Structure 1
Amino acid sequence: MKLKHEFIQLPVRFDVAELQREVEAIPQDRWRAHHEGFKGNYSVPLISVEGKDNNEFKGPMAPTDILHRSPYLKQVISSFGEVIGRSRLMALDSGAEVPVHSDINYHWYKRVRIHVPITTTPDVRFHCGDKEVNMQAGDAWIFDSWKYHTVKNNSDVFRVHLVIDICGSSRFWELTERGNVPWLDPVSDDADFRFIAPHTDTDPAIRTETFNTPLVMTPGEMDGMAQELFAELHQGKGNAQQDVSAFIQRVEQFCQDWRVLWAQYGMSEAGWPHYHLLRETAYASVREYENRLTLGNGTQAPRMYLFCMIDPALNVEVAGQFATINANQADPGGAQPAGAQRDAVPEPHSRNAPCPCGSGQRYKTCHGKLA
């Protein structure tokens, strides 16, 4: 999510010793290597899809068994009073780093991540855009994940952060307005910070996300994402105006055709093959701009189109959550479109999962591939 500043320190603090005690109690075999293979990066799910040991984004979130056994971690997460998405403990080996990247996909475009450092030193540096900070243990921070960022552990400790992912209510954003931007407002008075003391004899309630991804993206949301994409595109440097105009026209055509399909099918299963083929065609139409159009943060424009609109527009793996879907509804359009047979292979819970066809490839590079 884009923020006003690269880093904002929230006006709350937590008990470092209690946090460290609960982290140390977690069995070593529960730390899992990063799902994309980043060397020296590990995590422990605390709130995950169905409360299981996974890194998924889509589906009903619930506390894991580790969180149920960690009362202060649970209290810290609950203290923000927000609806909580995927949240974890994240660790970096001594000398390891989080590779430079920007979070431009649908999940992150409107979500913010709260960092609560638990084990760290001044030699752990968080870089975002042209700014750099050290997040001290027990503090709470948010950062602009739209800009390119990285974390480097130049210390000899196993750095551990609690990360809490939320959309953010109006109350939360009011809290951020009382926060601290280090290079603008150096902290001078600890009285401005609220300390959350451990009350581990209670069981605080945590509200978690249930509907965090659309089965079929609505035309209104699709149009809204398109306007966000166009705004980012206009901030790009060095883009040829004729390329910008052509790209925008093709995205607008996709939105128009999506609205027509929605008017006919809504979320019904009969429309899924039609939606999927439209996605493939739409993305293929802009592939030529991958090295010609960039956004304000330096990312290629077709990447945002893919990750914020094309890919998240259809998520058949969450169909079970939408009780209004009639799986047996007849196709009001009659014959299936050419090529629709590709969708005979069911979409797995995650597009990164092995394709059910048995090819050994990930679904997103096999039957779920977007041309």
Structure 2
Amino acid sequence: MNYIRFSDTYNEALLIAELQQVLQQDWSLHFNTKDFNGDWRSISLRSATGRNDDIYAQADVAYKNTPALEMMPYVQKILDTWHCEKEAVRLLSLAPGSEIKPHKDMGCGYRDGNFRIHIPIVTNPDVYFTVEDETLHLQAGECWYMDFSQTHSIVNNGNTNRIHLIMDCIRNEWTDRLFAAHGFDLSEEKPSYDAATKARMIEELEKIDTDIARNLIASLKAEN
């Protein structure tokens, strides 16, 4: 199951109203320049340092709310309704004519122990989100999970920015119940590794020092 559209929706007007203040802040160009063409920017609502401009995902750190989140009390309420640990929370803006190229974010699927939630705030009919050759149209206020360990891409062929609220979350029993209620099959779990194997895997991944490697390290360390 590569994606879920959850039954809950959020108030588009409130999200847009809160976004207006944050749009006046500085948004950082996404660091992963090899994966996109055009203009792809982000501002953090939760980050490792508590700064708006810290858009990096890091393992084994305590994430903090940023000043930008203080401008968005309705978004804070949304975060509170998700009864799980939240790591990086960001707003990502993809400008008209921009494209996020097909790629995989290894270790970023629900079975890996962490998952990513997308809530569109501003979008248009010509934004195409493709996951494993299936094209999705995400509407403002909807709430989606997508398995980013699968090949995915985004193109904005419209005339407006596409701005999403994106939450990186840690799986727990509450989220298991939520995903199962939306049809996610939890019966086929990923294979487990013994402690020695995991230690060797972590040692090798630490040498790579990329976001994907850090996600995998976090996933391995989160296993019981």
User: Could you tell me whether the CA contact under 8 Å between 2:45 and 2:91 is conserved in 1?
Assistant: yes
- Select the residue among 110, 123, 127 that pairs with 2:113: 110
Secondary structure of 1:147's partner?
A: coil
Structure 2 matches for 1:1-371, cutoff 5 A?
Answer: 5-37=1-33, 38=36, 39-52=38-51, 53-58=53-58, 59-104=61-106, 109-179=112-182, 220-221=194-195, 223-224=197-198, 254=200, 279=204, 307=213, 312=217
Percent identity over the alignment is: 25
CA shift, 1:221, in A, is: 4.8
Aligned residues: 200
Structure 2: distance between partners of 1:156 and 1:71: 29
* Cα deviation 1:72-106 (Å, max 9, x = unaligned): 11111111121101110011001111121101158
Whichever of the two has the greater Rg, that structure is 1
Shift of 1:35: 1.1
Alignment partner of 2:175: what SS? helix
Q: Report deviation, 1:147.
A: 0.9
1:33–1:168: structure 2 CA closer, same or farther, 3 Å change rule?
Answer: same
User: What amino acid sits opposite 1:55 in the alignment?
Assistant: I
- Residues of 1 paired with 2:179 and 2:150: CA distance? 19
| Alignment check: 8 A CA contact 2:55 2:90 kept | no
Any conservation in 1 of the 2:109–2:115 contact (CA below 8 Å)? no
Higher helix residue share: 1
**Matching residue's letter, 2:101:** P
Name the stretch that deviates more: 168-177 or 5-14: 168-177
Q: How far apart are the structure 2 equivalents of 1:106 and 1:79? A: 21
| Structure with higher strand content | 2
Q: What code does the residue aligned with 1:223 have?
A: T
Aligned-pair distance for 1:180?
A: 7.0
Kindly indicate whether the alpha-carbon contact (under 8 Å) linking 1:9 and 1:180 is maintained by their aligned counterparts in 2. no
Tell me the CA shift for residue 148 of structure 1: 0.7
Alignment check: 8 A CA contact 1:12 1:140 kept:
yes
Q: Relative contact order: is structure 1 or structure 2 higher (C-alpha 8 Å, sep ≥ 6)?
A: 2
CA separation in 2, counterparts of 1:179 and 1:106?
A: 19
Shift of 1:177: 2.5
Q: Distance in 1 between matches of 2:109 and 2:125?
A: 31
**Structure 1: distance between partners of 2:108 and 2:183:** 28
Contact between 2:86 and 2:167, CA under 8 Å: does it hold in 1?
yes
- SS state at 1:28 partner: coil
Aligned-pair CA distance for 1:51: 1.0
- TM-score, normalised via structure 2 length: 0.78
Alpha-carbon distance in 1 for matches of 2:135, 2:127: 10
Q: Which runs of 5+ in 1 are unaligned?
A: 182-218, 226-253, 259-274, 284-301, 314-371
CA distance in 1, matches of 2:100, 2:5: 20
Residue 28 of structure 1, CA deviation: 3.4
Whether contact under 8 Å (2:123, 2:140) holds in the other structure is yes
- Over 3 Å counting, the alpha-carbon distance change for 1:15 and 1:49 in structure 2 is same
2: CA distance, partners of 1:145 / 1:151? 12
**Cα distance change, pair 8–35 in 1 and its aligned pair in 2 (3 A):** same
| C-alpha distance in 1 between matches for 2:165 and 2:68 | 13
1:195-250 superposed Cα distances (whole Å, 9 cap, x missing partner): xxxxxxxxxxxxxxxxxxxxxxxx9455358xxxxxxxxxxxxxxxxxxxxxxxxx
Q: Structure 1-normalised TM-score?
A: 0.48
